[in-house]
């Protein structure tokens, strides 16, 4: 019951956050100069053509009127209709979410084991060449611009070696291997940054635990070193690691913007970028709101995992 | 009566190629963005139009020489007074839904156009539309317009014919059913559009071969897929690795990555657009100081501006491309002068006192950004107080078309007007925010009224001279669009908007 109450409380706290996100996004988009009607009318159209389109789209109404109308529709579950794509925001998100979720999952599946193993190895071999090598690799992963490394990767793996496709997405319904093949390269590029972040985080958490008395006790009673780390140290590093994992999952979803653009993956990130560029107000507003819901959901999931990992949270 | 006859383009394949023609092949085109709408009456973006013209056709279309050619009409008869246009439809033409196209569909399409197209004012002078029988369609105008058929060839906001049952569908939401040689298969917005060969296509057998967007079209490919690949590096990689057969818009500095390969090549389409500075005719100091405008025009250095952006270009003083009938050298006295001394003299004569000039540009198109930066440096050398305002393309485009943003001059790429003729220029001339200028309104009225082509050319020359001499427009150069393709297919030819009929696998 306590867990349920806690979750209900967190959900309640999320509602004003989401409302603020909604209103802020609306105003930020409308503060931007530019006009979706000009995008639709094309670069060679004059003011008259643009005005006709503005009227058709209802963009000639006052900003408060547009905001109230949007919120009113939102309250009824209507996220609006894309100005440019001519489809509902929910449909647009529904078509693109599987791509972004697939990319996130593939990337997540690479990030977690590699990041954690690298972090634990670095901690175990603290201040040795191995530690330095792992931390240097992590530093490179965190520092290298994703856009640049992604293009280099395409030139190497797609053009020179011809192992992986340069762009595009294949749905899982067309086969698991084609799906995975399309996502391996973008997934790895997206994971690079997060692996570095997680490895540093895990190393730090493991080092804290390895200095604890109960580790010394385990070693003193003759438990093997790897068994000490796996059974006694690792579980106690999990709280900060789980926190980092939740953040990583959110960052992977949000960080897919650049990678989706480079690899021409029709996901949520690219949808939002294109919508910003074309001032497709309903898509940006609706998509960010849905992402806000997702991030709140991820945070709740992390809360639930806490209670499983650490009984003190459950009974505290 | 004048009849517009069907002209064959002379682009049919040679004997050797013809023998090799065979059905098959799934062609992949990696384009700069995704197809957003398949509504020909409401679409203006080139990416949309390229796909649209494979699916839809109009009564007339632009030919290989970019002039008007009959397509769904077998002929167009124009009355001597230039007010009545009688279109005789080709018989037996089928829509993708199997229905035969008749004047009922033509009438419905024009009615829909008037309701949903941003270009509806182009039909403002239409007094009546009649369909005396299933294959004869008559348009009567309030006043003469000898260029009306030319107006109708426009690929932008195309006057395509759609089935009459779709006439109430809203703008940009049209179900994509046309009479074109391809029909829509799968369409995933923001990702790809798959077109399939329309086996029920009724080609214009009176033509000898394809002729621009008109003529006899034959589809050999099984499918044509438009993929959205916005990143130029990835498009090039897709072509190199076999993920795409054709790619759009290669930046000049990246084209060398394809050099040295025998299996892929770069095709240059020039002229594609023209780079032009536009002056705001209502914002001082440039609106009120003719000498200031002329001084800035005298500073333009086409070579330096285009080279800065690595742009493939050609010098051309005219607002019309060289193949156009309307091309002339009326702009020569003000073209590519790159003279700081002349600019200084003009500033002195115009009593310029350091009033601020705002030059708005964008960071999305390298040639626009770099040309603006070069001009700003030249303006500073001449002693002009200039502020460079950098925005994104969407903002720049909106400010240009609406006159907002407080700019005095800005830059854009004009494509279809210089290619298609004065009738197409009309919208873009309004960019200077002076569409009611009598030189424009009276000039167009005279041009539409005369049936003498030489007289029309003379009148257009007058309008062009006015815009260039007054410094309302400052022409930089004609620029190219670089496209890449592999060697697996035959029949790809350079054209303003790419066509994939009469293309076949080796």
Query: Which chain A residues contact residue B230 at CB under 8 A?
Result: 261, 264, 270
Q: What angle do CA B286, B398, B354 make, to 5 degrees?
A: 20
Residues B483, B266: Cα–Cα separation, whole Å: 6
Q: Do B229 and A167 touch (CB under 8 A)?
A: yes
Q: Do B228 and A154 touch (CB under 8 A)?
A: no
Assign A213 to helix, strand or coil. helix
Decide if B450 touches A, using CB distance below 8 A: no
Q: Model pTM greater than 0.90?
A: no
Query: Which chain A residues contact residue B37 at CB under 8 A?
Result: 86
**Given B30, B394, B427, which is nearest A38 (Cβ)?**
B394
Instruction: Find tokens 């916005």 and name the residue.
Output: B230
Element (H, E) at B79: none
Query: Which chain A residues contact residue B173 at CB under 8 A?
Result: 86
- Across chain B, mean pLDDT equals 92
Here the tokens at position A153 are 């990767």
Query: Which chain A residues contact residue B118 at CB under 8 A?
Result: 40-41, 45, 49-50, 52-53
Q: How far is A260 from chain B (nearest CA, A)?
A: 10
Phi, psi at residue B161, to the nearest 5°?
-95, 130
Instruction: Find tokens 């071999």 and name the residue.
Output: A125
Query: Which chain B residues contact residue A84 at CB under 8 A?
Result: 36
Determine how many CB atoms are found less than 10 A away from the CB of residue B138: 16
Residues B265, B256: Cα–Cα separation, whole Å: 10
Query: Which chain A residues contact residue B119 at CB under 8 A?
Result: 45, 49
**Which residue does chain B place closest to A266, by CA atoms?**
B191
What integer pLDDT is reported at residue B476 of this predicted model? 97
Lowest-confidence pick of B78-82, B231-235, B432-436: B432-436
Which of A37, A44, A160 best probes binding to B when mutated, by most B CB atoms within 10 angstroms?
Answer: A44
CB contact set of B193 (below 8 Å; sequence gap of 6+): B34, B35, B38, B51, B184, B186, B187, B225, B226
Do A74 and B188 form a contact (C-beta atoms < 8 A)? no
**Given B227, B230, B235, which is nearest A261 (Cβ)?**
B230
A40-95 residue pLDDT tens: 887 777 777 788 888 878 888 889 999 999 989 888 888 888 888 888 999 999 99
Q: Do B237 and A46 touch (CB under 8 A)?
A: no
Which of B50, B189, B426 best probes binding to A when mutated, by most A CB atoms within 10 angstroms?
Answer: B189
CA distance readout (Å), B358 to B290, B297, B396: 16, 15, 13
Closest by CA position to B245, among listed B503, B494, B489, B491: B489
**Which residues are B140's β-sheet partners?**
B84, B128
Decide if B191 touches A, using CB distance below 8 A: yes
Q: ω before B285 within 30° of 0 (cis)?
A: yes
Burial class (CB in 10 A: 0-12, 13-18, 19+), B249: middle
In angstroms, how far apart are the furthest CA atoms of chain B?
A: 71
In angstroms, how far apart are the furthest CA atoms of chain A?
A: 85
Residues B87, B139: Cα–Cα separation, whole Å: 8
Do A163 and A79 form a contact (C-beta atoms < 8 A)? no
pLDDT class of A225 with cuts at 50, 70, 90: confident
Q: Is the pLDDT of residue B2 over 80?
A: no
Closest by CA position to A41, among listed A59, A26, A25: A59
Query: Which chain B residues contact residue A39 at CB under 8 A?
Result: 394, 397
Do B167 and B113 form a contact (C-beta atoms < 8 A)? no
What integer pLDDT is reported at residue A314 of this predicted model? 60
Burial class (CB in 10 A: 0-12, 13-18, 19+), B439: middle
Here the tokens at position B359 are 């030059």
**Which residue does chain B place closest to A275, by CA atoms?**
B190
Q: Do B430 and A35 touch (CB under 8 A)?
A: no
**Which residue does chain A place closest to B411, by CA atoms?**
A43
Do B416 and A44 form a contact (C-beta atoms < 8 A)? yes
B258-310 residue pLDDT tens: 888 889 999 999 999 999 999 999 999 999 999 999 999 999 999 999 999 88
A279-310 residue pLDDT tens: 999 999 999 888 888 888 888 888 778 777 77
Q: Using CB atoms and an 8 Å cut-off, which of residues 200-239 of chain B contact chain A? A: 227-231, 233-235, 237-238
**Which residue does chain A place closest to B175, by CA atoms?**
A86
**Which residue does chain B place closest to A43, by CA atoms?**
B397
Give the number of beta-carbon pairs within 8 Å between A and B.
Answer: 159
Q: Do A50 and B398 touch (CB under 8 A)?
A: yes
B30-72 residue pLDDT tens: 999 889 899 999 998 889 999 999 999 999 999 998 899 999 9
pLDDT class of A313 with cuts at 50, 70, 90: low
Assign B297 to helix, strand or coil. helix
Q: Do A264 and B228 touch (CB under 8 A)?
A: yes
Do B214 and B62 form a contact (C-beta atoms < 8 A)? yes
Mean pLDDT (whole number) for B323-330: 92
Burial class (CB in 10 A: 0-12, 13-18, 19+), A19: middle
Mean pLDDT (whole number) for B185-209: 94
**Which residue does chain A place closest to B173, by CA atoms?**
A86
Query: Which chain A residues contact residue B433 at CB under 8 A?
Result: 47
Q: Is the pLDDT of residue B319 over 70?
A: yes
What integer pLDDT is reported at residue B6 of this predicted model? 30
pLDDT class of B10 with cuts at 50, 70, 90: very low
B18-30 residue pLDDT tens: 447 899 999 999 9
**Which residue does chain A place closest to B39, by CA atoms?**
A86
């Amino acid at each position: 019951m306590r867990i349920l109450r806690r979750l209900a409380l967190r959900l309640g706290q999320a509602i004003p956050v989401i409302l603020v996100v909604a209103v802020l996004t609306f105003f930020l988009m409308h503060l931007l100069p530019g006009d979706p009607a000009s995008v639709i009318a094309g670069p060679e159209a004059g003011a008259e053509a643009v005005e006709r389109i503005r009227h058709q789209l209802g963009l000639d109404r006052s900003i408060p009127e547009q905001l109230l109308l949007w919120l009113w529709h939102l309250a009824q579950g209507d996220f609006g209709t894309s100005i440019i794509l001519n489809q509902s925001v929910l449909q647009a998100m529904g078509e693109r979410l599987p791509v972004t979720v697939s990319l996130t999952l593939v990337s997540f599946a690479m990030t977690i084991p590699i990041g954690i193993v690298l972090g634990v190895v670095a901690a175990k071999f603290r201040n040795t060449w191995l530690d330095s090598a792992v931390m240097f690799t992590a530093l490179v992963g965190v520092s290298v611009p994703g856009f640049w490394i992604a293009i280099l990767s395409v030139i190497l793996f797609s053009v020179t070696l011809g192992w992986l496709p340069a762009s595009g997405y294949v749905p899982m319904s067309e086969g698991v291997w084609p799906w995975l093949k399309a996502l391996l390269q973008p997934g790895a590029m997206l994971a690079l940054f997060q692996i570095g972040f997680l490895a540093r985080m895990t190393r730090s958490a493991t080092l804290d635990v390895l200095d604890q008395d109960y580790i010394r006790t385990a070693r003193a009673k003759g438990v093997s070193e790897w068994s000490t780390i796996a059974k006694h140290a690792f579980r106690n590093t999990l709280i900060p690691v789980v926190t980092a994992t939740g953040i990583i999952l959110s960052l992977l979803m949000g960080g897919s913007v650049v990678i989706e653009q480079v690899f021409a993956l029709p996901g949520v990130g690219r949808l939002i970028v294109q919508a910003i560029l074309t001032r497709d107000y309903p898509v940006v507003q609706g998509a960010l709101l849905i992402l806000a819901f997702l991030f709140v959901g991820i945070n709740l999931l992390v809360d639930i995992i806490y209670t499983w990992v650490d009984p003190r949270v459950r009974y505290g | 009566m004048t009849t517009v006859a069907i002209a064959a383009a002379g682009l049919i394949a040679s004997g050797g190629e013809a023998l090799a023609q065979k059905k098959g092949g799934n062609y992949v085109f990696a384009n700069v963005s995704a197809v957003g709408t398949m509504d020909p009456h409401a679409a203006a973006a080139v990416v949309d139009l390229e796909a649209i013209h494979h699916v839809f056709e109009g009564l007339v279309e632009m030919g290989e020489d970019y002039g008007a050619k009959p397509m769904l009409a077998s002929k167009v008869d124009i009355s001597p007074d230039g007010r009545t246009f009688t279109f005789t439809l080709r018989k037996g033409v089928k829509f993708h839904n199997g229905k035969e196209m008749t004047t009922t569909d033509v009438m419905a399409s024009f009615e829909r156009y008037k309701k949903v197209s941003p270009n509806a004012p182009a039909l403002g002078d239409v007094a009546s539309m009649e369909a005396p029988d299933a294959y004869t369609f008559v348009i009567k105008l309030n006043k003469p317009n000898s260029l009306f058929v030319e107006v109708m060839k426009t690929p932008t906001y195309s006057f395509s014919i759609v089935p009459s049952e779709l006439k109430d569908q809203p703008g940009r939401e049209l179900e994509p059913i046309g009479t074109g040689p391809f029909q829509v298969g799968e369409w995933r917005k923001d990702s790809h559009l798959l077109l399939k060969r329309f086996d029920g296509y009724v080609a214009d057998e009176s033509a000898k071969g394809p002729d621009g967007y008109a003529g006899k079209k034959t589809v050999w490919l099984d499918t044509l897929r438009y993929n959205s690949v916005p990143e130029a590096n990835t498009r090039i990689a897709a072509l190199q690795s076999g993920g795409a057969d054709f790619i759009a818009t290669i930046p000049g500095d990246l084209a060398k990555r394809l050099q040295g390969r025998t299996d892929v090549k770069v095709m240059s389409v020039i002229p594609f657009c023209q780079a032009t500075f536009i002056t705001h005719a209502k914002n001082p100091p440039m609106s009120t100081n003719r000498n200031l405008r002329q001084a800035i025009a005298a500073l333009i250095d086409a070579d330096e501006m285009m080279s800065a952006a690595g742009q493939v270009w050609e010098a051309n003083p005219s607002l019309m491309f060289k193949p156009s009938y309307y091309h002339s050298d009326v702009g020569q006295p003000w073209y590519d002068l790159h003279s700081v001394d002349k600019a200084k003299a003009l500033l002195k004569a115009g009593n310029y006192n350091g009033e601020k000039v705002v030059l708005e540009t964008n960071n999305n198109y390298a040639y626009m950004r770099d040309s603006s930066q070069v001009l700003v440096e030249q303006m500073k050398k001449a002693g002009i107080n200039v502020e460079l305002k950098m925005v994104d393309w969407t903002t720049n485009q909106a400010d240009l078309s609406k006159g907002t943003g407080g700019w005095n001059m800005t830059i854009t790429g004009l494509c279809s007007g210089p290619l298609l003729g004065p009738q197409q220029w009309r919208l873009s001339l309004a960019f200077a925010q002076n569409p009611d200028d009598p030189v424009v309104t009276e000039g167009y009225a005279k041009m539409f009224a005369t049936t003498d082509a030489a007289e029309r050319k003379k009148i257009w020359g007058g309008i062009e001279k006015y815009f260039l001499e007054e410094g309302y427009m400052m022409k930089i150069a004609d620029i190219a669009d670089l496209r890449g393709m592999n060697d697996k297919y035959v029949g790809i030819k350079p054209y303003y908007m790419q066509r994939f009929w009469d293309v076949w696998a080796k």
